[in-house]
Amino acid sequence: MSVLRTRRPRRVVIVGAGLGGLSAACHLAGSGHEVTVVEQADQPGGRAARIVKDGFTFDTGPTVLTMPELLESTFAAAGSRMEDLLTLRPLDPSYRANFADGSTIALRHGREAMAAEIREACGPVEEAGFRRMCDWLESLYQLEMPAFIDRNYQRFWDLAVPLQPALRLFRLGAVRSLEGAIRRYFTDERLVRLFSFQAMYAGLAPQQALAVFAVITYMDSVRGVYFPEGGIGAVPMALAAAAKKAGATFTYGRQVSRVLYDGNGSRRRGGQVTGVRLMDGTELPADAVVVNADLPVAYRTLLPDLPPPPVLRKARYSPSAFVWHAGVRGLPPAHASHHNIHFGAEWSSSFRTLLHEGRLMPDPSVLVTVPTLSDPSLAPEDSSVLYVLEPVPSLAGKVDWTKERRATRERLGGLLEHWGYPSDVIVEEAMDPTDWARQGMALGTPFALAHTFFQSGPFRPANVDRRVHGLVFVGSSTVPGVGVPMVLVSGRLAAERVEQL
């Protein structure tokens, strides 16, 4: 059952059934609140939903799942066991890294297996470096998770309260660059890339990201990557089932137009949430409203009379992604894994082009996921599903997608054929930044605000707006940040805020 304890049940409306909203629903319904989830789509998931077309099932958002214990605790909060609703299996290898010189390194599941892989591919000195890195990552994670990630902040100086964890974090080198921290352990450039590319999940180049974000590397490289039967889209379906079993009500295919509150929401006079209004004019009363929409878009569309906080008015956003879903006839090459990273020859210069010049990478690194290697039921017999992701600028960049959309798809198709993947496309869907924007993501990026120092921890947009009592936010634009594990945590933190009302 939920670890939260409520003084009295409250009526809570959750706007959006993304992973953050579903996590909040599990925690709140499990604590006895009257929870209603309103989702404009016909299925739960948000960015983690699915498309089924001509016998192919495509996961539309995240494909990498780590930290299954966070999922377990979310199900437990709703009074369910994860194994009754969702089956996860570890991926081994978690990734296969392919480099421009033709070499490959598998990111194996488990510390000892990965150490053996590095010893064979790179030698005993690099293996020793990997073992030291794992010790450092473990120490970093054990410190960060309770003290800096899995907590609500009241004010920015809470970062140093209690002081001892902050000092320990500093001594562990968490404020140096991520790439610089990784270079302490490796001289092989391939390993530097393999254990620092995760900075892109935080919207930064490895040279810019703080080493504190090595926690993402830890999740991938030490704790391992998992895949659910039925694809990632099975995760929100299972979470929705758990929340419903705990008493939550779900309404699909209906869109919220406004969050309602009395007063004018000013700091002087304040306000109190009273509910939400749907597009058809229906009003749902509530004591608290948890908003799972992308935060900048939520203020613009659901709270138009409430000026966004200063941190949003001058926010820095992550780059976006061009994602190509392809249902193809044929099977991948024998050397392919579930997740495959094809690193370009260029590294630092590609990040400069993407992040500072706002242009497409001249030599991009590309993720190719083949979920049918783990679950063949996601495609017809003798066919495959390919998920192809290239980092691209957000809509703040200089790319004209009316011209580049087709060219990017064709270029990726040529790369896949060159790398040996099946090229006989039966059905396909492409997502560029303009598509992400139409789905309600600010500046067309599914990765939300970049995790710069002043957009992380207590400096990230808060999950409450104290001008309106009962207004709570959840998702990747608020604390603790981007990624499936962090968004699941954000649901628990949002539920905690409701408990404190």
Q: SS3 of 346, please?
A: coil
- pLDDT, residue 263, reads 75
Residue 70 tokens read as 């966070």
Distance of CA 4 to the CA centre of its chain: 24
Whether cis (ω within 30° of 0) applies to the bond prior to 309 is: no
The answer to whether the beta carbons of residues 384 and 377 sit under 8 Å apart is no
What H or E segment, with its residue span, contains residue 437?
helix 433-438
One-letter amino acid identity for 273? V
- Residue 452 has which token pair? 């710069």
At 102 the three-state DSSP class reads coil
Q: How far apart are CA 491 and CA 292, in angstroms?
A: 9
CA gyration radius for the chain? 22
Q: Please give the pLDDT value at position 268.
A: 47
Paired sense of beta strands 95-98 and 88-90, if any:
unpaired
Domain boundary assignment for the chain: 11-47+69-78+231-314+449-499, 110-223, 318-438
pLDDT digit string, tens, across residues 129-155: 999 999 999 999 998 898 788 899 876
Q: In sequence order, what are the beta bridge partners of 121?
A: none
Place of tokens 């990632």: 232
Contact 319, 393 (CB under 8 A): yes
Distance CA 86, CA 105 (A): 30
- 60 contacts 431 by C-beta, under 8 angstroms: yes
**Each residue's pLDDT tens digit in the chain (501 positions)?**
444 554 688 999 999 999 999 999 999 999 999 999 999 999 999 999 999 999 999 999 999 999 999 999 999 999 999 999 999 999 999 999 999 999 999 999 999 999 999 999 999 999 999 999 999 999 999 988 987 888 998 766 566 566 677 778 778 888 789 999 999 999 999 999 999 998 988 888 999 898 988 988 999 888 999 999 999 999 999 999 999 999 999 999 999 999 999 975 554 455 999 999 999 999 999 999 999 999 999 999 999 999 999 999 899 999 999 999 999 999 999 999 999 999 999 999 999 999 999 999 999 999 999 999 999 999 999 999 999 999 999 999 999 999 999 999 999 999 999 999 999 999 999 999 999 999 999 999 999 999 998 898 889 999 999 999 999 999 999 999 999 999 999 999 999 999 998
29 with 250: CB under 8 angstroms? no
* Token pair of 356 as six digits: 């500072």
pLDDT of residue 89: 97
E strand intervals along 122-207:
none
Nearest to 412 by CA among 342, 468, 354, 460: 342
Residue in this structure with the two tokens 């002087």, named with its chain if needed:
268
| Domain over 11-47+69-78+231-314+449-499 is classified CATH 3.30.70.3460 | no
The bridge status of strand 249-252 relative to strand 225-228 is: unpaired
Residue 250 in contact with residue 240, Cβ under 8 Å? Answer: yes
Label residues 46-73 b or e (16+ Cβ within 10 Å = b): bbbbbeeeeebbbbbbbbbbbbbebbbb
Confidence at residue 3, expressed as pLDDT on a 0 to 100 scale? 45
